[in-house]
Amino acid sequence: MRVAGQALTEQEGVKLEADTVGYQETSCVLEAEGEPRLFEKSQVLVGGSIEYNTCTSRGIIKKAFTSFSSGQATWFVRGNVAADSNATRLYAASSDITSCDLPTPHY
């Protein structure tokens, strides 16, 4: 199945918006392209593309931007991010992490 032009899908409280969303049920693969935005609880993830396996609850967001709080700081992550069904973990590769909230961080 493929939906193009302001696609929106929602499952178990998680919303995904993108220009194009495709799903292959036989392989459990959901793909989103065109500035996909993933909303889960208070977490927002924006990226260039998303590939998510609905059977394993794991996905990769390329060119991602997200933030999270730890202690008294808010951290911003930009780059390639992998996430799993455990909401307390975030994996990043070829990414930057900073507490600077400027569009182009200076540290």
106 vs 18: which has the higher pLDDT: 18
For Cα atoms 75, 46, 86, give the angle at the middle one, nearest 5 degrees. 65
**pLDDT value at position 4?**
84
Residues 6 or more apart in contact with residue 95 via CB below 8 angstroms: 64, 77, 78, 79, 80, 81
**pLDDT value at position 88?**
67
DSSP three-state, residue 72:
coil
Each residue's pLDDT tens digit, 47-103: 999 998 888 888 899 999 988 888 899 999 999 998 776 666 778 888 999 999 888
**pLDDT value at position 96?**
92
Each residue's pLDDT tens digit, 15-57: 889 999 999 999 999 999 999 998 877 778 899 999 988 888 8
Cα 62 to Cα 79: distance, rounded to the nearest angstrom: 7
Name the nearest CA neighbour of 59 among 34, 78, 87: 87
Q: Which residues of 72-89 are buried (b: 16+ CB within 10 A; e: fewer)?
A: eeebbbbbbbebeeeeee
**pLDDT value at position 10?**
86
Cα 20 to Cα 13: distance, rounded to the nearest angstrom: 20
CA 22 centroid distance within chain: 15
107 vs 21: which has the higher pLDDT: 21
